[in-house]
Structure 1
Amino acid sequence: MAVTTFTDLRQIKDAAGRHLGYSTWLEVTQERVDLFADATGDRQWIHVDVDRARQGPFGAPIAHGFLTLALSNLFLPQIVEVRNISLGVNYGVDKVRFPHPVTVGRRIRGGAEIAAVRDIPGGVQVTMRITVEIDGETKPACVIDALTRYLA
């Protein structure tokens, strides 16, 4: 069940600037990192060679930045639900940043806020700022300005 539920587009507009809540924590496992490496072909040693990565700059393998970005699609439905619409669709991203790496074994979660809302034909376009936090870290793993279109 989502932390925040909207039942119409007006409620989304009224929530501009508001933080919507957080997802549950997720442990980043080596298995998940390896599966992502297999799916994308990005098998750089810092991600998949556990022994070598332990000797590397982070002391452990790290998740791919794009894996962390992709996990926002796991977190967002836990945070926000929009009802009574015909369609919600990812429209793209304005900006993505990776301020801090996620080492394997750490827990991450997503938080979301509505940064902006603008009218489009038949609905609204929402800029959702999704911040992926690392348990115990002050810097986030990833900050995404995701664009979603909700149509009435």
Structure 2
Amino acid sequence: MTTTVAYADLESAAGTDLGYSEWLEITQDRIDVFADAADDHQWIHVDPERAAGGPFGAPIAHGFLTLSLATKFWSELFEPEGVTTRVNYGLDKVRFVSPVAVGSRVRMNAVIAEVTEVKGGYQLAVDQTIEIEGGTKPAVVARGIYRFYA
């Protein structure tokens, strides 16, 4: 479910738990396309036969592939109204906690941790946790930094 906040109300959004995105299955095709884009063709990601005998028993998604999904999930969870420009400003303290095996489903929870006024807009620090369905530990934990301008 998407949380909508008017630009004028962004400053008071700190502490808002945005809930969870939809689940997304991690397919071998998605992993292969990412491997091509990142030029990272390590066997643990792209060779299902060899990966089956590896430490995880299946190919796993690149950590940066899983992290990149935060952009998709973030757009599902938060919609500021009255904004003319949105900027993905960066990340703080990223951790790849658990590998994501092909066929797994992941989703993200996001909590707006801080809102800071910046020149011409607001900066939101968002605690993002990408979890694996049925997993005991998250796949990725990161703080995303986003800027919004009216």
- Work out the CA distance in 2 between the residues paired with 1:65 and 1:9: 36
Measured against aligned partners, the alpha-carbon deviations of 1:14-72 in whole angstroms (never above 9, x if no partner) come to 22122111111000000000000011110001000101101111110000000001111
Q: What are the superposed Cα offsets for residues 78-137 of structure 1, whole Å, 9 maximum, x if unpaired?
A: 111111012111111112111100000000011111011111111111111111110001
Name the amino acid aligned to 1:5.
Answer: T
Separation in structure 2 between the aligned mates of residue 3 and residue 151 of structure 1, nearest angstrom: 19
- In 1, the alpha carbon distance for the partners of 2:147 and 2:38 equals 27
Say which of 104, 108, 111 aligns to 2:109: 111
1: distance between equivalents of 2:117 and 2:6? 17
1-side partners of 2:7 and 2:72: how far apart? 23
Query: How far 1:9 moved relative to its partner?
Result: 3.7
2:101 equivalent to 1:75: no
Q: Match of 1:148? A: 146
Number of equivalenced pairs: 150
Aligned to 1:23: 21
RMSD: 1.0
Residues in 2 aligned to 1:97 and 1:60: alpha-carbon distance in whole angstroms: 21
Q: TM-score, normalised by structure 2?
A: 0.96
Q: Within 1, Cα distance between the matches of 2:145 and 2:134? A: 28
SS at match of 1:56: coil
Corresponding letter in the other structure for 1:57: P
Measured in 1, the distance between the counterparts of 2:5 and 2:44 equals 41
Corresponding residue SS for 2:97: coil
TM-score (normalised: structure 1): 0.95
Q: Find the residue that maps to 2:137 and give its secondary structure.
A: coil
**Structure 1 match to 2:128:** 130
Unpaired segments ≥5 residues, structure 2: none
Deviates more, 1:60-69 or 1:14-23: 14-23
Identity of aligned residues (%): 53
Distance in 1, matches of 2:127 and 2:48, equals 32
Q: Which amino acid aligns with 1:7?
A: A
Three-state SS of the structure 2 residue aligned to 1:71 is helix
What residue identity is the alignment partner of 2:3? T
Supply the distance in 2 between the matched residues of 1:117 and 1:71 (Cα, whole angstroms): 22
